[in-house]
Amino acid sequence: MLFTLASPVSRKAHRIAVGVLFFLLGLCFSSWGARIPSLQNRLHLSESELGMVLFALPVGLMLSLPFTGWLTSKIGSRKVVTFALLLYCSTLVLIGMSQSVLQLVVVLFAFGFASNMGNISVNTQAVGVEHLYQKSIMASFHGLWSLAGFGGAAIGTLMIGMGVEPLPHFLLIMALVLAGVALAYQFALPQDAPRDADQPLFVKPDKELMGLGLIAFCSLICEGAMFDWSGVYFQKVVGAEKAWIAAGYTAFMSTMAFTRFIADRLTTRFGLKRVLQTSGILTTLGLAIAVLFPGLWTAILGFFLVGAGVSAVVPLVYSVAGRTKTMAPSMALAAVSTIGFAGFLVGPPLIGLVAGISSLRFSFALIALMGIAVAVLSSRIKTEGE
């Protein structure tokens, strides 16, 4: 069904506005990720202790999933993503203010809740823009999220090198987010892509959605490792100097951003299945290099490859889920995210626990298996014409 809007705003303006929202969400998340080593040092946390603290973020994320899907379907994604971004940048500042483990755990729970409210609602906006364009453009939106991640990581590296504490750093990010939301709101989609009149709001995910969610699950374990542990890995395993601690995160985010901008074109040319299989192989190869050769430049190369590997998986999964005929786009995205982001839930804490028992290198070697799983599972999905 063709999605049209009775609006004086052009579809290009809608696309730019939604792209800005993706960028702001990525900026918040990457700013947090770049300063994890700083917060670990401030609170004197071991790897195992940090892993347990990080558990609070994905718990908040997971608990927000059913609520966000329902709320978005009721009041629309534009209102939800606006509120989510305001909450997101506010809790980011509270992270910078945290002076105890308990305070950090509570704020990270709220940060995770806001993160997924933004995730579901902004992807619902993106599905609507895809309907307007009648072609796949989801990966390019996620490319803007990753581009913001690259920028946020670069800012974090600069702040660390200059000795700036997390709080003033996060206050700067909050000011940028508030300005961006004020500009983008009026051009965001005022209504979401419609669902069929007889399509139920709540329905059990079908086999296709379950399979897509499982692929996302495996990939998001690897993403979670990069977001939460890349700085620690470069500090503890690579032995990078202070100014280079965030280099791995920056490398990961840079290739993740670049590859997402070409992923739609690659998918059109080579097909969904082949792109996902290649993604899994690149993820495994990158992690293997970083584990087997943990020097500064070899680890950076490995993280570059991981960024390219995970880049297309979640956008492609979301794009397919948003076009399902069995449920509303926001609920389909919430269903797939519930499965996929369970990887975000178990990955980072598991890495910390395994690192406490053995080593951080061994933890990263284990998650390399998730890249193999993405490749194997992708070979089983059905594509058009099969």
AA identity, residue 307 = G
Residue 209 is inside which H or E element, if any?
helix 207-236
pLDDT at position 383 is 58
How far apart CA 126 and CA 104 sit, in angstroms, is 32
180 CB neighbour count, 10 Å cutoff: 19
- Range 11-191+201-378 has CATH code 2.40.128.280: no
Model-wide pTM > 0.85? no
CA 206-210-213 angle, to 5 degrees, is 140
- DSSP assignment of 257-298 equals HHHHHHHHHHHHHH-HHHHHHHHHHHHHHHHHHHHH--SHHH
105 CB-near residues (< 8 Å, 6+ apart): 53, 56
Residues near 262 by beta carbon (within 8 Å), at least 6 away in sequence:
none
Burial profile 259-286: b = 16 or more Cβ within 10 angstroms, e = fewer? bbbebbebbeeeebbebbbbbbebbbbb
Task: Write the Ramachandran bin of 44: left for phi over 0, alpha for psi from -120 to 50, otherwise beta.
Answer: left
**Dihedral (CA of 334, 116, 226, 232) sign:** negative
Which phi and psi angles does 271 have, rounded to 5°?
100, 150
**How many angstroms separate the CA atoms of 229 and 193, rounded?**
37
Give CA–CA dist 289/293, Å, rounded: 6
Distance of CA 170 to the CA centre of its chain: 19
What residues in the chain have per-residue pLDDT under 50? 1-2, 196-202, 385-386
- C-alpha–C-alpha distance, residues 91 and 105, integer Å: 12
Q: What is the pLDDT of residue 229?
A: 87
Note the pLDDT tens digit of each residue in 130-166.
888 887 788 889 889 878 877 888 899 899 889 999 9
pLDDT of residue 197: 46
Distance CA 228, CA 226 (A): 6
Confidence at residue 105, expressed as pLDDT on a 0 to 100 scale? 94
Q: What is the pLDDT of residues 234-293, one digit of tens each?
A: 999 999 888 898 889 888 978 888 898 999 889 888 988 999 999 999 999 999 999 999
pLDDT value, residue 227: 79
Structure token digits, residue 228: 């939460």
